[in-house]
Amino acid sequence: MASMGGGHLDAEPLARLVKNSGMLNRTLQMICSNEGVNKNGVKAELQQRIIDRIRDHARRGDVIAFNRLKGMIENPSSLLPSNSQYSSMTSSLSPAATGTPSYMGVASGSGYNMGAGLNNLRFGGYQSLEFKPSPFYTIQQQLAETKECQVMTAHRHTVLISLRVSDYPILSRVLLDPSLRVMVFCAAEGHGKQDIAFPHQSEIKVNGGEIKANLRGLKNKPGSTRPVDITKELRLKVPTYTNNVEMTYALTNKASGYPLQKFYLLIYVVKIVSVVDLVKKLETGRRITKESVVNDMVDKSRDPDIVTTATVLSLKCPLSTLRIDLPCRSISCRHVQCFDATSYLQLQEQGPTWLCPICNNSAPFENLAVDEYVKDILKNTSRSVDQVTIQPDGKWELHTKPEPLSKSNGVASDDDDDLIEVTKSGDSVRVSTPCAYGTPAAREPSSTAAMNLGSTSGKRPIAAVIDLTSSGDEDDEPLARPAKRQYNNGYGQPPDPSTSMYRPSSATYPR
């Protein structure tokens, strides 16, 4: 196994370089081939595979593999080295050659066999691990000793930490200060600053009661697990009461990916920072000036290789779909679209991934900035406006949507009904249909009328109107009908005389 040097390997700058360097597919395929991953697929897939490898090397603290991959990304001409070149590069990157100190006194090349070195230097027999910082809390003090969770590939095991207020006076402050919380942290065996990670199967109990918490984080998202807040379950009013915190776990190999990796359980008192306070901090923090955004647009419009057109900018947050209040994006993002600061921070508080929801690039809290260009647009538009059109020169205007046509080819919609006016004038009935509705004006059957009616399948034929005001005596002598005149009901077929509604003797049609 490759030896591991000390120090923290920051994968995100290299991941951004892969995303934004504009490397050709052929170069990406060669890097994937050298890393032993699938080299087939589109550019985005190749980039993501390389980024996953970068983060994997950094998570494991594999300096040799990390620097080898970094060299290929920064200098693509060094791809496909011969065996002798690879051996010399490996030896030159070893901790002994570079002067990198070995981790906790463990000799280079020892791989994962570092338990002895860890046991001698921790708090209370173990050295306190260092976790990656979070803007949502700051660690105040560790409680009790770090508990080592032995490798468990099949069976279950339980570790116990006991706490008393009399032993840790800071716990008395937790009762008075609601911003102080007691949280359980856990990390896999590794180097540098650690992500929070619990064994694959684990549960936490405080004083016999199980804590309902997500101990796995988001799937395939290392670092998305949150520490477990156990403040409410602790009994802190009696200084001598012993609070028992237990973690039962199994399958350590599934969580870490390595069969011989241990975990370490710790309890800290932390001071939490609310989302509201973080938003206020952003408001007074970094800025992306309006001038810089406009200049960037103008530079792109002058590029002969890029065809620039007007674009539509949404004023809604892609996370909450609500109108943005404080527009933010990472300083490394190249797009103008922003997200709402509050919505983004609330999402990261639930499961920290710190990825831009628009371009999926790294967007940690320290890199967030307020976009003054979008902020100016929000300030000068009403809250009912959710889109604007941006010209290549940076000027913007309200986005107007074309109104859909209510009628097609001059034909009324199916909802339009023919107007039927019934007036009593003696014994006659008048049926009136406006010409604007496209109904045939003549009663005589004609091919033109039939075609017009056939083209509007949703139109209802004009029903025969019966005069119900006439007396029964008038029905004794039927009215004489004009010879050779047939009513085709608008469809070329005479009505069925057998129907109960067909009474030709009581209806008179206008001529």
Task: Examine residue 445 and state whether it is found in any structural domain, yes or no.
Answer: yes
Q: Do 301 and 341 reside in the same domain of the chain? A: yes
Least confident of 25-39, 129-143, 162-176: 25-39
Higher pLDDT, 255 or 181: 181
Task: Examine residue 355 and state whether it is found in any structural domain, yes or no.
Answer: yes
Task: Examine residue 221 and state whether it is found in any structural domain, yes or no.
Answer: yes
| Position 482 confidence tier, pLDDT thresholds 50, 70, 90 | low
For residue 73, the model assigns a pLDDT of 86
The C-alpha angle with vertex 110 and arms to 106 and 112, in degrees rounded to 5, equals: 95
pLDDT digits (tens, 9 = 90+) for 13-23: 888 888 876 78
Q: Do 312 and 169 reside in the same domain of the chain? A: no
Q: Where are the beta strands (DSSP E) in 150-192?
A: 157-163, 180-188
Q: Do 351 and 289 reside in the same domain of the chain? A: yes
Mean of all residue pLDDT scores within the chain: 75
**CATH number, domain with residue 142:** 2.60.120.780
Task: Examine residue 39 and state whether it is found in any structural domain, yes or no.
Answer: yes
How confident is the model over 181-190, as a mean pLDDT? Answer: 92
Q: Do 510 and 377 reside in the same domain of the chain? A: no
For residue 255, the model assigns a pLDDT of 56
How confident is the model over 119-139, as a mean pLDDT? Answer: 67
380 contacts 38 by C-beta, under 8 angstroms: no
| Position 498 confidence tier, pLDDT thresholds 50, 70, 90 | very low
Paired with 339 in beta bridges are 328
Q: Do 194 and 322 reside in the same domain of the chain? A: no
Task: Examine residue 453 and state whether it is found in any structural domain, yes or no.
Answer: yes
Q: What pTM, to 2 d.p., does this model score?
A: 0.55
Task: Examine residue 1 and state whether it is found in any structural domain, yes or no.
Answer: no
**CATH number, domain with residue 390:** 3.30.40.10
Task: Examine residue 406 and state whether it is found in any structural domain, yes or no.
Answer: no
Domain that holds residue 325: 277-398
Q: Do 141 and 238 reside in the same domain of the chain? A: yes
Higher pLDDT, 391 or 508: 391
Q: Do 238 and 309 reside in the same domain of the chain? A: no
Q: Do 69 and 207 reside in the same domain of the chain? A: no
Q: Do 144 and 167 reside in the same domain of the chain? A: yes
What sections of 230-287 are H helices per DSSP?
252-256, 275-283
Single out the residue in 245, 273, 301 at which a domain terminates: 273
Those residues with Cβ within 8 angstroms of residue 433's Cβ, 6 or more apart along the chain or in another chain: 418, 419, 420, 439, 462
pLDDT digits (tens, 9 = 90+) for 211-236: 999 998 888 888 899 999 999 999 99
Single out the residue in 240, 255, 273 at which a domain terminates: 273
Q: Do 298 and 201 reside in the same domain of the chain? A: no
Single out the residue in 253, 273, 293 at which a domain terminates: 273
- Per the structure, how many domains does the chain have? 4
Q: Do 256 and 353 reside in the same domain of the chain? A: no
Task: Examine residue 110 and state whether it is found in any structural domain, yes or no.
Answer: no
Q: In 10 A of CB 259, how many CB atoms? A: 11
Q: Do 258 and 184 reside in the same domain of the chain? A: yes
